[in-house]
């Protein structure tokens, strides 16, 4: 995730869906999203207040869509200042 982005599960995502993931056409994906996301075309309302409710899946699905094209998520993590095992 870009260092400037902070994701807080209880709040809506601050990033919009990228153009390629805004309008979904796959019927299976749309059917799955319909089971827990009343507004699959929008990231508004994505904050999960109760982690044992459908809002959890909605937050995760919206998170993956919003950041799905972020290239640095496919790179190995860089852990600065981590202790090395001897």
pLDDT tens per residue across span 42-86: 888 788 877 777 888 888 899 889 988 888 778 887 777 655 555
For residue 45, being part of any structural domain is answered with: yes
CA separation, residue 56 to residues 2, 13, 45, 46, 75 (Å): 22, 13, 11, 9, 26
> What six digits make up the tokens of 26?
């796959």
Q: Indicate whether 29 pLDDT > 90.
A: yes
DSSP H or E stretch at residue 55: helix 54-67
For residue 11, being part of any structural domain is answered with: no
* Counted domains in the chain: 1
Q: What is the pLDDT of residue 6?
A: 73
For residue 37, being part of any structural domain is answered with: yes
Q: Indicate whether 38 pLDDT > 60.
A: yes
pLDDT band at 31 (very low <50, low <70, confident <90, very high): very high
Domain of residue 33 covers: 19-74
Instruction: Indicate whether this model's pTM tops 0.95.
Output: no
For residue 12, being part of any structural domain is answered with: no
CB neighbours of 11 closer than 8 A, spacing ≥ 6?
47
């Amino acid at each position: 995730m870009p260092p400037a982005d902070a994701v807080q599960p209880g709040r809506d995502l601050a990033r919009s869906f990228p153009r390629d993931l805004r309008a979904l056409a796959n019927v299976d994906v749309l059917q799955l999203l319909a089971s827990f996301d009343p507004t699959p075309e929008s990231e508004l309302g994505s904050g999960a207040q109760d982690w044992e409710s459908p809002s959890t899946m909605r937050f995760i699905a919206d998170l993956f869509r919003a950041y799905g094209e972020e290239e640095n998520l496919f790179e190995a993590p860089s852990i600065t200042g981590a202790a090395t095992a001897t």
